[in-house]
Amino acid sequence: MSDQAPSEVTVTVNGTEIEAQPGEMLIAATDRAGIHIPRFCYHERMSSVGMCRMCLVDVDTGRGPMLQPSCMVPVADGMVVDTESDDTKRAQEGILEFLLVNHPLDCPVCDKGGECPLQDQTIAYGPGESRFVEEKRHFEKPIPISDLVHLDRERCILCDRCTRFADEIAGDPLIQFTERGNSTQVLTFPDEPFSSYFSGNTVQICPVGALTAAPYRFKARPWDLEETESTCTTCSMGCRISVQSSRNELVRYLGVDVESVNHGWLCDKGRFNFEAINSDERLTVPLVRDQENQRQLLGTDWGSALAAAAEAIGQAGPQGVGIIGGSRLTNEDAYAWSKMARSVIGTDNIDAQLDDGLPAELVLGLPPATIADACEADTVLIVGPDLKEELAILHLRLRGAATRGRTKVVQIGPTATGSESYAQHSIRCQAGEAAKTLTELLSSSDPLAQQLRDGSVVTILGRASMAESADPAISVAAVIRAELPHATFLSALRRGNVRGALDMGLAPGFLPGRVRIDNPSQALLQKWTDIPKEQGLGTTEMLQAAAAGKIETLVLLGADPLCDFPDRNLAAEAIQKVKTVVAIDNFVTSSVAQADIVLPATAYGEQNGTTTNIEGRVSRVIQKITPPGSTRDDWMIATELAWRLGGDLGLTSKDEIWREIEQVAPSHTGITLERVTSDETHEGILVQQSSIDLTLPIPQDTPIADGYGLRLISGRKLWDGATATAHSPSLQHLAEPPTLKVHPNDLQRLGIPSGSEVRVISTRATENLTAVADSNIQRGTAVLPFNQPGGGANRFIDATATINDIRIETL
Residues that bind another protein (CB under 8 A): 48-54, 56, 66-67, 69, 72-74, 87, 90-91, 94-95, 97-99, 101-102, 131-132, 134, 157-158, 167, 172-184, 187-190, 192
Query: Which residue number, 48 or 122, has a Cβ lying nearer to another protein?
Result: 48
- Write down the least CB distance from residue 640 to ligand FES, Å: 56
Q: Whole-number minimum distance, CB 119 to ligand FES, in Å?
A: 17
Residue 42 binding target from another protein, ligand FES, none, CB below 5 to 8 Å by type:
ligand FES
Residue 206 binding: pick among another protein, ligand FES, none (C-beta 5-8 Å cut-off by kind): none
Q: What is the 3-state secondary structure (H, E, C) of 252-284?
A: EEEECCCCCCCCCCCCHHHHHCHHHHCCCCCCC
Smallest distance from the beta carbon of 190 to another protein, in angstroms?
6
CA distance 326 to 322: 12
**CB-nearer residue toward ligand FES: 95 or 441:** 95
Comparison of 49 and 692: residue with beta carbon closer to another protein:
49
Smallest gap from residue 200 Cβ to ligand FES (A): 22
Residue 620 CB, shortest distance to ligand FES, in Å, is: 33
DSSP 564-618: HSS-HHHHHHHHHHSSEEEEEESS--TTGGG-SEEEEB--TTS--EEEE-TTSEE
Tell me which residue of 302, 273, 275 sits closest to 632, measured CA to CA. 302
Give 54 or 205: the residue with its C-beta nearer to another protein: 54
Angle, to 10 degrees, between the axis of helix 331-339 and the axis of helix 634-644? 20
Specify the residue, 53 or 514, whose C-beta has the smaller distance to ligand FES: 53
- Binding-site partner at residue 561 among another protein, ligand FES, none, CB < 5 to 8 Å by type: none
Which of another protein, ligand FES, none does 99 bind, CB closer than 5 to 8 A by kind? another protein
Q: What are phi and psi of 758, to 5 degrees?
A: -130, 160
**CB nearer to another protein: pick between 69 and 462:** 69
d(CA 331, CA 327): 9
> What is the nearest approach in angstroms of ligand FES to the Cβ of residue 25?
9
Q: Do the beta carbons of residue 212 and residue 280 sit within 8 Å?
A: no
At residue 388, what is the residue type?
K
Contact 153, 139 (CB under 8 A): yes
Considering only CA atoms, give the Rg of the chain. Answer: 28
Number of Cα atoms under 13 Å in the Cβ half of residue 354: 24
227: which DSSP letter?
A: E
Nearer to ligand FES, 50 or 650 (CB): 50
Q: With CB cut-offs between 5 and 8 Å by kind, which of ligand FES, another protein, none does residue 39 bind?
A: ligand FES
Specify the residue, 35 or 380, whose C-beta has the smaller distance to ligand FES: 35
Task: Tell the smallest beta-carbon distance from residue 17 to ligand FES (Å).
Answer: 23
| Closer residue to another protein, CB minimum distance, 95 or 515 | 95
Q: Which of 483, 400, 405, 394 is nearest to 437 (CA)?
A: 483
**Nearest distance, CB of residue 387 and another protein, angstroms:** 21
Shortest Cβ distance from residue 416 to another protein (Å)? 15
Q: Of these partners, another protein, ligand FES, none, which one is at the site of residue 66 (CB under 5 to 8 Å by kind)?
A: another protein
Say which entry of another protein, ligand FES, none residue 101 contacts (CB below 5 to 8 A, set by partner kind).
another protein
Partner whose binding site includes residue 393, from ligand FES, another protein, none (CB under 5 to 8 Å by kind): none
Residue 102: contacted member of ligand FES, another protein, none (CB under 5 to 8 Å, by partner type): another protein
| 55: partner contacted, choices another protein, ligand FES, none (Cβ within 5-8 A by kind) | ligand FES
Which parts of this chain interact with ligand FES (CB under 6 A)? 39-42, 50-55, 69, 71
Nearer to another protein, 193 or 314 (CB): 193
Which CB sits closer to ligand FES, 70 or 430? 70
**CA-CA distance, 119 to 208, in Å (whole number)?**
8
Three-class DSSP category at 811: coil
Q: Which does 4 bind (CB under 5 to 8 A by kind): another protein, ligand FES, none?
A: none
Please, what is the minimum distance in Å from the beta carbon of residue 125 to another protein? 13
Which does residue 635 bind out of another protein, ligand FES, none, counting CB within 5 to 8 angstroms by kind? none
Residues 103-125: b if buried by 16+ CB within 10 A, e if exposed: bbeebeebbbebebbbbebbeeb
What per-residue string of b and e applies to 258-272 under the rule 16 or more CB within 10 Å gives b? Answer: bebbbbbbbbbbbbb
Q: Nearer Cβ to another protein, position 5 or 66?
A: 66
CB 329 within 8 A of CB 610: no
DSSP per residue, 383-434? ESS-HHHHSHHHHHHHHHHHHHSSPEEEEEESS--TTGGG-SEEEE--TT-H
CA distance 441 to 320: 47
The C-alpha atoms of residue 413 and residue 420 are separated, in whole angstroms, by 11
Alpha-helical regions (H) of 217-366: 268-272, 274-277, 302-316, 331-339, 360-365
- Contact assessment for residue 74 and residue 26, using Cβ atoms and an 8 Å cutoff: yes
Cβ 20 to another protein shortest distance, Å: 15
51 vs 710 by CB, closer to ligand FES: 51
CB 129 → ligand FES: shortest distance, Å? 24
- Please check whether residue 344 is in contact with residue 337, taking contact to mean a CB–CB distance below 8 angstroms: no
Q: What amino acid is encoded at 491 in this protein?
A: S
Shortest approach of another protein to residue 162 CB, angstroms?
Answer: 12
**Binding site partner of 134, from another protein, ligand FES, none, Cβ cut-off 5-8 A by kind:** another protein
